[in-house]
Amino acid sequence: MARVTLNIAKSYDNGFIADFEKTKYFQLQKNATTRADIYHFAIALALLEGKEPTPPQSVGPVDSFVRTEYLTNYEALLSCLYYEHNLKDTPDLIDEICNRDEVYALAEQLANSGFGVLKEYVETLDEEALCYKLISYMDKTFNTIFDEVNSLLR
């Protein structure tokens, strides 16, 4: 049976996320962004901080957070993440990229790690500091891509 929802640790959903959505921190509350957007922001934070994927069950019970039907704009990105984490060194297993359960399991693990990062950010950084931190990540990424392209053009 196909998965209908992606989950996070219940402690994040019932505690941190509920409070987080009330504070309007970084304009990530429900009425400004979708739960799918928040979920993918958490995944991005986990990747930016170099966090290992953590199963939501390792934090405690899980709770449904976003329905898979709302992932239409993100399906390709989740597949790319799965490829990067699990398939890039084994091209003969490329058909595994079609295994949505495995792709979603990795997304859940990364989001769980990312919600931990986001919780830490909310507790330690104001919105302006977070904005500058994200700009710094973008600068580093741009420089990496720029250097890579330049090395190919030489």
Residue 1: its pLDDT value, please?
56
pLDDT in tens, 28-57: 766 667 888 889 999 999 999 999 998 888
Residue pair 115/42 in contact by the 8 Å Cβ criterion: yes
pLDDT in tens, 111-123: 999 999 998 998 8
Give start and end residues of each alpha helix (H) in the chain: 10-11, 18-23, 35-48, 75-82, 100-124, 127-153
The CA distances from residue 81 to 15, 17, 55, in Å, are 28, 24, 16
Residue ranges for the chain with pLDDT beneath 50: none
- Alpha-carbon distance of 17 to 71, in angstroms, equals 19
Length of the chain: 154
